């Protein structure tokens, strides 16, 4: 008993002192514990304490030193940075083609990138793959605006109203008030109606149901006759994504002239699947995600088949 107590004490001292020792059984173990430890900020005012060179602590201190962030604001930006990088990971945006950061988050990201001794290993630990950054992405013009709008939609889908408007500052009027409104974010590219749920859960669809059964408990559905919005209209319609193997369906509300790609992305995230392994088909046509219900002539409550492949 005495030996176990001593081991626990040594482990705690090691963590606080900035060096690593094996964890005891009473502590978290595994990759999840390492990830959470990386995001913890443990600053010390004692010059005699060992200097921490890995994890969020030196990143926060670097942003305070280089960008003039207060410690309180740097910690808030760190939370936003984690949200943004997790979005990039679940959406497989490894080369900055889908999402763009806000100004403060970009400053922290670039500060992390400059730590070339650790950035690659940090990404492998936190996200399983290195997330690339394009320093000229701000010059894209219309493409940049499209990425920003996709980022807002993805944020709302994953985090609901857990928005710090100072951290997520894109230079527009995006705010918690807008996030809490009943209207979905509207963009020229995609607009998906999403309800709000606690941070980290994904409200990507109104619900799921088996084709041969009734809707899950707590979900209310209203029967609708198949219809197509009037010519030139952009009203929302309901689209079902059907798992070809199980017959399970997930339904979404999507504006008639919005592209299907955001629906495909959040469907993959909800199922915990790599989007690259999914194939979407409608009437024998394989879809890329850049089609719209309008271009496909979809009726309300149309069904798109999803086939889950495997890596070769």
More confident residue, 232 or 252: 252
Range from 8-22, 147-161, 198-212, 240-254 carrying the lowest mean pLDDT: 198-212
Q: Which helix (H) or strand (E) holds 238?
A: strand 236-243
Quick one: average pLDDT of 7-22?
42
Which residues fall within 8 angstroms of residue 262, CB to CB, at 6 or more apart? 150, 153, 154, 189, 190, 192
Q: Any bridge partners for residue 304, and if so which?
A: 241
Q: Which helix (H) or strand (E) holds 151?
A: helix 142-159
C-alpha to C-alpha distances, 36 to 41, 120, 242, nearest whole angstrom: 10, 18, 35
Quick one: average pLDDT of 23-29?
47
Q: What are phi and psi of 256, to 5 degrees?
A: -65, -30
3-state secondary structure of 137: helix
Task: Measure the CA–CA gap between 259 and 294, rounded to whole angstroms.
Answer: 9
Quick one: average pLDDT of 162-180?
69
- Going by pLDDT thresholds of 50, 70 and 90, the confidence category of residue 307 is very high
Edge-to-edge strands, sheet with 248-255: 207-210, 248-255, 236-243, 302-308, 278-282, 285-287
Which residues fall within 8 angstroms of residue 114, CB to CB, at 6 or more apart? none
Range from 70-74, 84-88, 206-210 carrying the lowest mean pLDDT: 206-210
**223 and 290 Cβ atoms separated by less than 8 Å:** no
Does the structure show a pLDDT above 80 at 175? no
Does the structure show a pLDDT above 70 at 197? no
Q: pTM of the entire structure?
A: 0.52
Quick one: average pLDDT of 234-251?
87
- Going by pLDDT thresholds of 50, 70 and 90, the confidence category of residue 232 is low
Long-range pairs, 239-243, Cβ under 8 A, ≥24: 239/263, 239/293, 239/298, 239/301, 239/302, 239/303, 239/304, 240/301, 240/302, 240/303, 240/304, 241/267, 241/280, 241/303, 241/304, 241/306, 242/211, 242/303, 242/304, 242/305, 242/306, 243/306, 243/308
- How many CB atoms are closer than 10 A to CB 63? 24
Where do we find the tokens 């495997």?
310
Quick one: average pLDDT of 121-140?
89
- What is the per-residue pLDDT for 109? 96
- Going by pLDDT thresholds of 50, 70 and 90, the confidence category of residue 20 is very low
- Going by pLDDT thresholds of 50, 70 and 90, the confidence category of residue 295 is confident
Most confident of 17-31, 87-101, 283-297: 87-101
Average pLDDT, the chain: 75
- What would the two tokens of residue 299 be? 């009726």
Q: Which helix (H) or strand (E) holds 286?
A: strand 285-287
**237 and 193 Cβ atoms separated by less than 8 Å:** no
Does the structure show a pLDDT above 80 at 50? yes
Handedness of CA 167, 162, 251, 128 (dihedral sign): positive
- What would the two tokens of residue 241 be? 């994504």
**249 and 240 Cβ atoms separated by less than 8 Å:** yes
- Going by pLDDT thresholds of 50, 70 and 90, the confidence category of residue 49 is confident
Does the structure show a pLDDT above 70 at 217? no
Range from 64-73, 109-118, 148-157, 212-221 carrying the lowest mean pLDDT: 212-221
Which residues fall within 8 angstroms of residue 155, CB to CB, at 6 or more apart? 83, 87, 163, 168
Quick one: average pLDDT of 8-30?
45
What region does 212 belong to: left with phi over 0, alpha with psi -120 to 50, or beta? alpha
């Amino acid at each position: 008993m005495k030996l176990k107590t001593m081991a626990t004490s040594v482990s705690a001292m090691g963590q606080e002192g900035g060096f690593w020792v094996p964890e005891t059984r009473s502590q978290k173990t595994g990759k999840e514990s390492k990830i959470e430890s990386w995001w913890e900020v443990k600053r010390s005012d004692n010059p005699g304490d060992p200097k921490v060179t890995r994890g969020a602590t030196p990143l926060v201190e670097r942003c305070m030193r280089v960008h003039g962030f207060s410690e309180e604001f740097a910690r808030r930006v760190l939370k936003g940075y984690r949200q943004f990088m997790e979005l990039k990971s679940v959406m497989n945006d490894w080369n900055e083609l889908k999402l763009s950061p806000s100004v403060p988050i970009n400053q922290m990201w670039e500060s992390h990138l400059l730590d070339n001794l650790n950035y690659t290993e940090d990404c492998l630990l936190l996200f399983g793959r290195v997330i690339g950054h394009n320093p000229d992405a701000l010059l894209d013009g219309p493409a940049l605006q499209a990425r920003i709008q996709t980022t807002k939609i993805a944020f709302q889908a994953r985090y609901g109203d857990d928005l710090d408007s100072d951290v997520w500052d894109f230079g527009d009027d995006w705010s918690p008030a807008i996030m809490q409104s009943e209207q979905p974010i509207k963009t020229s590219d995609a607009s998906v109606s999403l309800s709000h749920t606690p941070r980290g859960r994904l409200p990507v669809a109104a619900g799921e149901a088996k084709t041969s059964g009734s809707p899950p408990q707590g979900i209310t559905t209203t029967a609708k006759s198949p219809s197509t919005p009037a010519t030139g209209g952009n009203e929302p319609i309901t689209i079902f994504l059907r798992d070809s193997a199980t017959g399970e369906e997930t339904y979404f509300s999507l504006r008639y002239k919005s592209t299907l790609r955001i629906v495909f992305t959040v469907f993959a995230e909800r199922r915990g699947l790599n989007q690259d392994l999914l194939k979407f088909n409608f009437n024998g046509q394989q879809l890329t995600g850049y089609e719209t219900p309008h271009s496909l002539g979809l009726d309300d409550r149309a069904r798109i088949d999803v086939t889950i492949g495997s890596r070769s």
